[in-house]
């Protein structure tokens, strides 16, 4: 009999309700692949929001791998718990959510079996994470138009429609577009002291480290790197008439951000100050209402397995 005491230890955290709950049909297959790769598996199924954060934060240092199955929100909890713990463990990600933006950015396969095989024999990739005041996000912090859609859309609708749910739900809000007067101080970061100050009325803003948002590729800009210590930032100004609104939507669809109706740039650190409280979303989950927020890029914060 194989001596399991000599095996590497892995913690497998499963969100059984993510997406359509398909992980229930693949869990044993995934475990078998990882056991064959020499891992002694400990399995934990989350029971409520925040469970994965606690499980990872309190994990033993003897674990050489933390595997998670769920959507980007579950990965957010894994990374949050990891950074709160103060020490890094390699992450394996088996995407099983509705949209899986960050998984797409990492080019992880849809097939859970193939994702498990990558965890067992892929390559290590160090990528950035974001700090949002006292919170952590993996790939997006956003406010304004459409942002309430991701955490306001019922899970059943996400399961049925995938990223189209974001669009269908968002269209309901177009007739009552709200704008926010904000002042943004943007720092390039790294060795640069370059600083840009922007003050305007915005209907939407996103600070991202991803190739796609809501299932749409290219919306975060061009030349996106996940490990350069920089966020991609898009801030959309309030349109004064329907023509300007159409121009904004066309610019987003065509990925042409050099319009006078929006700002598009890269930054390593940002500070936003608003006249009124603004609701933010972090990786598709409600991030609270804030008058002021500071966002910092934490370069190479996490190690994750890729193909």
> Residue 128 falls within a domain, yes or no?
no
Within a domain: residue 223? yes
The arithmetic mean of pLDDT across residues 46-53, rounded, is: 93
Question: What average pLDDT does the segment 17-30 reach?
Answer: 83
**E strand or H helix at 149, and its extent?**
helix 147-152
Would you state the pLDDT for residue 192?
Answer: 67
Q: Is residue 150 part of a domain?
A: yes
The two three-digit tokens of residue 149, written as one number: 């859609």
- pLDDT tens-digit series, residues 55-65: 999 999 999 99
Last residue of a domain, one of 121, 152, 169: 121
- Give me the pLDDT at residue 248, please: 78
Same domain, 99 and 232: no
> What is the mean pLDDT of the segment spanning 260-275?
94
Same domain assignment for residues 104 and 162: no
Write the pLDDT tens digit of every residue in 167-202.
445 544 555 678 899 999 999 876 667 899 999 999
Are 74 and 105 within one domain? yes
In a domain, 127, yes or no: no
Predicted local distance difference test score (pLDDT) of residue 223 = 82
Instruction: Give the burial class of 109: count Cβ atoms within 10 A of its Cβ; 0-12 exposed, 13-18 middle, 19 or more buried.
Output: middle
pLDDT band at 217 (very low <50, low <70, confident <90, very high): low
Nearest CA among 307, 280, 254 for reference residue 103? 307
Q: In angstroms, rounded to a whole number, what is the distance separating the alpha carbons of residues 158 and 154?
A: 7
End-to-end CA, the chain: 32
70 and 164 inside one domain: no
Instruction: Tell me whether residue 41 is in a domain.
Output: yes
Q: How many domains does the chain have?
A: 2
Residue 201 is assigned to a structural domain of this protein: yes
158 and 88 in a common domain? no
Q: Are residues 231 and 272 in the same domain?
A: yes
Return the pLDDT at 155: 55
CA angle 165, 170, 174 (to 5 degrees): 155
- 147 and 117 fall within a common domain: no
DSSP string across 219-240: TT-SS--TTSS-EEEEEEEPPS
- Same domain for 215 and 98: no
Quick check: is 93 in a domain? yes
Does residue 130 sit within a domain? no
- List the domain range (segments joined by +) for residue 224: 135-299
Pair (117, 24) in one structural domain: yes
Q: Which of 97, 121, 145 is the last residue of a domain?
A: 121
Same domain? For 171 and 228 the reply is: yes
> In this structure, are residues 226 and 105 in contact, taking their beta carbons and an 8 Å threshold?
yes
Predicted confidence at residue 161, as pLDDT, reads: 44
Question: Is residue 50 located within the same domain as residue 161?
Answer: no
Q: Rounded distance, CA 143 to CA 151, Å? A: 12
Same domain, 36 and 155: no
* Average pLDDT, rounded, for the chain: 85
Considering 121, 153, 182, which residue would you say is the last residue of a domain? Answer: 121
Query: Residue 174 is part of a domain; what is its CATH number?
Result: 2.60.200.40
């Amino acid at each position: 009999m194989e001596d399991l005491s000599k095996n590497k230890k892995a913690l497998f955290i499963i969100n059984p309700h993510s997406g359509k709950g398909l992980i229930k049909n693949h869990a044993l297959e995934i475990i078998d692949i990882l056991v064959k790769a020499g891992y002694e598996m400990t399995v934990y199924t989350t029971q409520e929001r925040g469970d994965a954060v606690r499980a990872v934060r309190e994990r033993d240092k003897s674990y050489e791998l933390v595997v998670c199955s769920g959507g980007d929100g579950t990965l957010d909890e894994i990374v949050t718990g990891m950074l709160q713990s103060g020490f890094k463990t390699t992450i394996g990600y088996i995407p099983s959510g509705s949209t899986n933006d960050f998984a797409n950015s990492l080019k992880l396969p849809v097939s859970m079996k193939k994702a498990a095989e990558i965890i067992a024999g892929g390559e290590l990739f160090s990528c950035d994470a974001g700090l949002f005041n006292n919170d952590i996000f993996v790939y997006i912090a956003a406010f304004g138009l459409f942002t309430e859609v991701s955490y306001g859309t019922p899970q059943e609708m996400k399961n049925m429609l995938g990223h189209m749910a974001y669009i269908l739900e968002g269209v309901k809000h177009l007739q009552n577009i709200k704008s926010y007067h904000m002042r943004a101080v943007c720092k390039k970061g790294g060795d640069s002291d370059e600083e840009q100050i922007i003050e305007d009325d915005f209907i939407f803003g996103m600070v991202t480290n991803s190739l796609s948002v809501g299932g749409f590729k290219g919306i975060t800009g061009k030349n996106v790197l996940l490990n350069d210590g920089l966020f991609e930032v898009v801030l959309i100004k309030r349109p004064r008439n329907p023509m300007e609104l159409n121009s904004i939507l066309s610019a987003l669809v065509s990925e042409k951000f050099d319009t006078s109706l929006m700002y598009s740039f890269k930054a390593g650190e940002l500070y936003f100050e608003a006249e009124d409280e603004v609701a933010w979303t972090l990786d598709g989950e409600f991030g609270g209402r804030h008058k002021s927020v500071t966002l910092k890029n934490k370069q190479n914060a996490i190690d994750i397995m890729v193909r």
